Structure 1
Amino acid sequence: MSTSAPPRVLGKGRPPTRMSKVLQNRWAGLAGLAVALLFPFVDASQYTLTILTSAAIFVMLASGLNIVVGYCGLLDLGYAAFFAVGAYTSGVVATRFDLPLLATVPVVLVTTVIAGIVIGIPTLRLRSDYLAIVTLGFGEIIRITANNLDITGGPSGIYGIPALADSPAAVYYITVVIVAVAVLGAARLGRSRLGRAWRFVREDEDAAEATGVHTYRVKLAAYIAGAVWGGLAGVLLAGQLSAISPGSFSFLASALVLMAVVLGGMGSVPGVVIGAVVISVLPELLRDFADYRYFAFGVLLIVFMLFRPQGIWPARSKEALK
């Protein structure tokens, strides 16, 4: 008498497939976009719209750095350099030639690609701590250069930059739409053939090279893509503030963006978005602590990373490599 195994219940006990994770991420993205579009109807004050616009720009920055750090595993401590290149390029072109801000985007794309190539070619031959130190140096070089050139306005910066729109609400909605497209583009890149190559390089660069991946070109592509995202975020910053100065592109800016990527979950697009929102909005929510708000902010981050070091929404690296 033979015994047969009990019938399996479909879907029970199975780990989530890659497709189910993709669907979860898509629904999470749609829910986040809906909240972002509807939130101004709850509180449409100028202060709230300014904070939310800054948070959206920070999401753009974190999405770009996630390509470099999260996808490809390149530790970049000078990411604010590309932020500065985009902001100053759009500001100079818009004010010198009396152009709308969005008309400067093609020029910004060209300059950020060139900046990514110029900085990336000598830098990406290094690894680990050496790469981090050199990128930090390049970031400071860009900031100091902007602080000393006449065309960038020196320490005073550039003023009178055309705004993205006439009202804070319009600026917010334009920013949210552009950032949503950029985040979607970053997610699509991560699931592409190039994105898989980035992840192979991140997991084991030597093994990736042994299997035929041109690691140097792959890393340079990640660096250029991150530069483009950072430059476009600079355009949005210039359009929001109508003025830029070197103080906005210090090492602290690079550190906060990297913190958002690590806090959200490196390589995870939904996680990075959440991490960027937390990093940009939490200090404003802690204003009641006055001089101690950044201390409280730091303590909260340390506690969170101790109990969840993988991030808020971690990426499943093994599934991503399939």
Structure 2
Amino acid sequence: MSTQTSSARSEAAARLRKVNWYQQPMVKRLFGMLVLALVVNAMTGEQGSSSDLFLSLKDGFPSTRMWIILAIAIAIWATREFAAEPVKSGSRSVRDLVTQAPAVVTVRERLQRDKWTRWGVLALVVVLALVIPGQLTGYWQTVLVDQIAIFVLLAIGLNVVIGWAGLLDLGFFAFFAVGAYSAAYWTGSLPVEPPIELNNFLVIPVAMVTCLIAGVLLGAPTLRLRGDYLAIVTLGFHEIVYIVAKNADNFTGGPQGVPQIPPFKAFGYEFPVDPMPYWYLLVALVVIIVFAFSRLEHSRVGRAWTAIREDEVAAAANGVDTIRFKLLAFAIGASSSGVAGVVYASKVGYFNPENFAILNSILVLAYVLFGGMGSIPGVLVGTAFLVWLPEILRDKVPPSDRYMYLGALLVVMMIFRPQGLWPSKRRQRELKQAEEGIGDADAMSEPAGGRI
């Protein structure tokens, strides 16, 4: 009798462990790509009208465009599923063959071992960043300053909050608005006169302190929240800042915005309309912030953030002051947004509340996810690429469709490489453990089955 019971239990367990063909990861990815292709086909077709709501569907199903998009989606899926592994194994074989030689050291190992080589490569990157933009057209120089460099600063700050501390923030762009209005206030451009007018360079540390305080004010009421609940609260914080900026006419200028913000001045030199001086300033600021945040990542504070992200309960049980370090994450991450807000306001000379719409917060989050959460190089590369992509499509794709292709690219990345373009090693391990069902690998959500 006991033998039959044991056999029945074994069969039941085997049925539970059985994975059907449609539950295979490869099939799931194919299904996701097909759905994505159909959505992109519908969204990039003819616009609907009040007389015919289904005009887009009639135009796109079926059509030559639909079959082309489906073919591209299947080609991407097939390349990833059947060609990626042979390429990886071939590269590993070549690497193993090369590294067997006793006197040969790979470039990556050399960068990891020799700090002077690493600093030399970083110096070369900075030099190229200073030299190459001068050869571009005026339009692309403006894109570099007004969009790429500004969003890079924002993404670096959000990476501290979401990538290192694991705090899902959907209202991060509100700190950018705080920095911009700080520049307007302290330069005397708002209806309210400041106690003393400051040079734009002096406004930068003031705006950083203001955003630090705003970060603490946001973090203090949300200390007990995680995941979706934290995201909702941060989203509300963004809307509060946006509505105050739009309705407080006597302080912020209201919907009319803030005109005539003076440019940067130093030693009698006033920054011209030419974007290149602002580019050099932003490169210097990015280098300083990246250096400071890199040191912070490997400090005691960075390790505390890592512990909180991986398991907040275990971190608290081991003596980590989770309240203090979560507040630090909000405050320090917000500081770079304050810097970006001051430079942006001084560069454009005019802004209004519509410059700080909620879409921008979602875009910054998408840039961090695409580049790789927790990875500073990934955030830099991912942000630059995703800001550049809609601009390069400007002459080839209708304005209403540009961000559709951007969204499709993000979905493809999340299907095939959820760790991001240039992920951190720790994040790669977490996602691998999550796929294998080991522990609570995704620190921004509850464990499987709910909190224990």
2:225 aligns with 126
Is 1:176 matched with 2:268?
no
Gaps (5+ residues) in structure 2? 1-99, 265-270, 430-452
Residue 59 (structure 1) aligns with: 152
Return closer, same or farther for 1:156/1:25 CA change in 2, 3 Å cut-off. Answer: farther
Which of 261, 286, 297 is 1:161 aligned to? Answer: 261
- CA pair 33-108 structure 1, distance change in 2 beyond 3 A: same
**TM-score, reference length from structure 2:** 0.64
Instruction: Give the whole-Å Cα distance in 2 for the aligned partners of 1:40 and 1:303.
Output: 30
Partner of 1:147: 246
- Write the distance in 1 (CA, Å) between the matches of 2:398 and 2:254: 32
User: For the Cα contact (< 8 Å) 2:371–2:381, is it kept in 1?
Assistant: yes
Q: CA deviation at 1:9?
A: 6.9
Cα 1:185–1:249 shift into 2, 3 Å? same
The answer to whether the 8 A contact 2:179-2:342 is kept is yes
* Total equivalences in the alignment: 312
- The SS at the match of 2:216 is helix
Structure 1: runs of 5+ lacking an equivalent: 1-7
2:412 alignment partner in structure 1: 303
SS at match of 2:397: helix
Matched, 1:102 2:201: yes
**Structure 1 residues 261 and 104 mapped into 2: Cα distance closer, same or farther (>3 Å)?**
same
Distance change in 2, residues 1:10/1:69 (3 Å): farther
Q: Is the 8 A contact 2:373 2:427 kept in 1?
A: no
Deviation at 1:124, TM superposition (A): 2.3
Superimposed CA distance per residue, residues 110-147 of structure 1 (whole angstroms, 9 cap, x where no aligned partner): 21121111111001221111001001001110111111
The amino acid of 2:362's aligned partner reads A
Q: Which residue of 1 aligns with 2:133?
A: 40
Which of 174, 178, 181 is the matching residue for 1:81?
A: 174
Q: CA deviation at 1:13?
A: 11
Give CA deviations for 1:65-91 in whole Å, capped at 9, x if unaligned.
000000000000000111111110111
Q: CA deviation at 1:99?
A: 3.4
- Which residue identity lines up with residue 313 of structure 2 in the other structure? D
- The alpha-carbon distance between structure 1 residues 245 and 206, as it changes in their structure 2 partners (threshold 3 A), is same
Name the CA distance, whole Å, in 2 between partners of 1:22 and 1:13. Answer: 11
TM-score by length of 1: 0.89
Matched, 1:312 2:447: no
Whether the 8 Å CA contact 1:40–1:49 is kept in 2: the answer is yes
Q: Which whole-Å deviations, capped at 9, do the CAs of 1:96-119 have from their partners, x for residues lacking one?
A: 455321121232122112111111
Distance 1:201-1:21 versus aligned 2 partners, 3 A rule: farther
What is the letter of the counterpart of residue 168 of structure 2?
L
Aligned residue runs from structure 1 range 1-322, under 5 A = 20=112, 29-43=122-136, 45-53=137-145, 54-95=147-188, 96=193, 97-149=196-248, 150-164=250-264, 165-166=271-272, 167-287=274-394, 288-291=396-399, 292-317=401-426
Q: Which has the larger radius of gyration?
A: 2
Q: Structure 1 residues 21 and 67 mapped into 2: Cα distance closer, same or farther (>3 Å)? A: farther
State the distance in 1 between where 2:303 and 2:103 align: 27
Where 1:243 maps in the other structure, the secondary structure is coil
Separation (CA, whole Å) in 2 of partners of 1:25 and 1:310: 24
Classify 1:180/1:13 alpha carbon distance in 2 versus 1 (closer, same or farther; 3 Å): closer
